Amino acid sequence: MDTHDLAPFLLQDIEFDPGYSLLLTGWSEVMPVIQASGREGNGYTWDGVARLLVARHLPEAADQLEHDSESGMFAVYSSNRQVLEALAFSCATCIDRPSNWASS
């Protein structure tokens, strides 16, 4: 299995369809930022953020993503690695710039 680290996210080649997964692996890094904005920061929070970022910045990619997050896990799958990389960078921007949470 090939992995590509986009910390705190992890992009993996997976052995089943659709082919790639994007996971949040650095929960301890992001929880203080998220909780400071008044959000829980669980997998469902991240799923909502990801859907919003896709709608705003990657609308052409929406139909290429399969969201499968749970309370303790953020996971998105796709057959398009570049789409998941773009989503990871967009999500990371929210972490790097806490002011973005106010508009998320």
Q: The pTM is what?
A: 0.85
- Identify the band that residue 99 occupies on the pLDDT scale cut at 50, 70 and 90: low
Distance between CA 12 and CA 1 in Å, rounded?
7
- Identify the band that residue 100 occupies on the pLDDT scale cut at 50, 70 and 90: low
Mean confidence (pLDDT) of the chain: 87
**19-28, 30-39, 79-88: segment of lowest average pLDDT:** 30-39
pLDDT tens per residue, range 40-54: 888 998 999 899 999
